[in-house]
Amino acid sequence: MLYYSLAALGLTLATASTAIASTLPITEVAPPVSRRWLRDDKVRGVNLGSLFIVEEWLAKDEWASMGCKGVYDEWSCVKKLGQEAADAAFEKHWKSWVSKSDIDEIVSYGLNTIRIPVGFWIKEDLVYSDEYYPRGGLKYLDRVVGWASDAGLYVIMDLHGGPGSQAPNEEFTGRSTAVPGFFTDANYERALKFLEWMTERIHTNNAYRTVGMLEIINEPIKRRVNATNADDMQKRFYPAAWDRIRNREKKLGIAKKDLLHIQYMGSNWGSGHPEKYLTDTTFLYFDDHVYWKFDTRSGKNKTSYINATCSLYRPEADVIVGEFSLSVASALQNTPEFAIQGHPENKAWYTDYFAAQVSIYERSGGWVFWNWKCNWINQFNDWRWCYQTAVRAGAIPKDASKVASLSPC
């Protein structure tokens, strides 16, 4: 496959790739490739959610088939089944939830990026003896990353579930708990060891050759929930994460052009300004998650949703919207104006809604839809959360690179 050594991610990459594509050799070994590699001028991607951290709401039938019905998170399922039975159940899930044909389908839709949420427990020596997490996922992570590299997809590796859980009552952390335990020296250190290890794996394992961005923690606690924890994380964990990644790269002798982009949840998330205590910001990127379903600015009708979306001004090239969906407020989703079951006339509006979001997020670095696939949401396969199903249903166009031009904004 071709590797492009480019000046910046999220800026004008198409012309550079055209100019140098013919001069670069095809190689089967890990090349000295710039980690700022992309084929297009914007990130356009999907999340592989519920692969390595299964969320019950997103995969209800799958969760039940694993024997996890009646519990909320991976911790509870492992505890319920016992370690060996849980390992077997999760292995079956990892083998089948995302296949090589999924990766091929992603590429066929004009997408260039995948974001892979993982828990710290995929590095099994970081797990304490009294913790409950599935074992054996790493070889399947290697497999899917290798498929993505072979297919030419850019990969964002996302530490989605941190030690002790970084947000309250969230199954995406792996253990839903009212009092998150991430904000301690010991758990910071476990997360830092994970980031060092993943950094080295990215730079030394050929399967990871198109992983160009490492997100240090997904959706941590917000200041309005616990300002003390959020500020402590910002002051102590954020700069330590940066330093540990860069120091590991220095130890490996990684050239500047090949350094990873390091991504933090941006200030819009509400956990503070992640760059405040950083002494270096080379290849710093931000993640933003935009769910109009939970935002009162979206209003209560189709026009207000489109207007709210189009009013979101995002000029920053270093921001990637790492999660968004087509969902609307729970009170509205089954009304005649927004329902998708029994209301085929609404499909065209959802295409407009998607195109409006895409056009705004492409004013910044780009976007990654949540999620690629799902399984039995809202008592049916609700494609407002599922890119694959939405394309097959005709709500999302098949060529992601052309969607922004369809925007009603």
Q: What string of DSSP letters covers 18-60?
A: HHHGGGSPP-SS-----TT--SSSSEEEEE-TTSSS--GGGBH
pLDDT, position 335:
96
List, for residues 12-51, the tens digit of each pLDDT value: 333 333 332 332 333 333 444 455 555 557 999 999 999 9
- Say whether 87 sits in a helix, a strand or coil: helix
Euclidean distance between CA atoms 343 and 332, whole angstroms: 14
Contact by Cβ (8 Å): 46, 271? no
pLDDT, position 380:
76
pLDDT, position 10:
35
Q: How many CA atoms are closer than 13 Å to the CA of 175, on its beta-carbon side?
A: 21
Euclidean distance between CA atoms 333 and 313, whole angstroms: 26
Q: Tell me the average pLDDT across 326-355.
A: 95
Contact by Cβ (8 Å): 10, 318? yes
Name the pTM for this structure: 0.90
223: nearest Cα among 272, 188, 284: 272
Q: Tell me the average pLDDT across 365-393.
A: 90
Q: Tell me the average pLDDT across 394-399.
A: 96
- For 148, the token pair is 């993505």
Q: Tokens 């130890």 correspond to what residue?
A: 251
List, for residues 190-201, the tens digit of each pLDDT value: 999 999 999 999
Indicate if the pLDDT at residue 142 is higher than 80.
yes
- For 312, the token pair is 């979101």
Contact by Cβ (8 Å): 91, 136? yes
Residues with catalytic roles: 219, 323
pLDDT, position 7:
32
Numbers of helices and strands, H then E, in the chain: 12, 8
Indicate if the pLDDT at residue 162 is higher than 50.
yes
List, for residues 243-295, the tens digit of each pLDDT value: 999 999 999 999 998 999 999 999 999 999 999 999 999 999 999 999 999 99
Q: Tell me the average pLDDT across 128-156.
A: 97
Is it true that domain 14-406 has CATH number 3.20.20.80? yes
Euclidean distance between CA atoms 313 and 168, whole angstroms: 30
Ramachandran bin of 329, using left for φ above 0, alpha for ψ from -120 to 50, beta for the remaining angles: beta
Contact by Cβ (8 Å): 114, 68? no
CB count within 10 Å of CB 188 equals 20
Q: Tokens 């992603």 correspond to what residue?
A: 106
- Look at 30 and 303; give whichever has higher pLDDT: 303
pLDDT, position 188:
98
- Say whether 380 sits in a helix, a strand or coil: strand
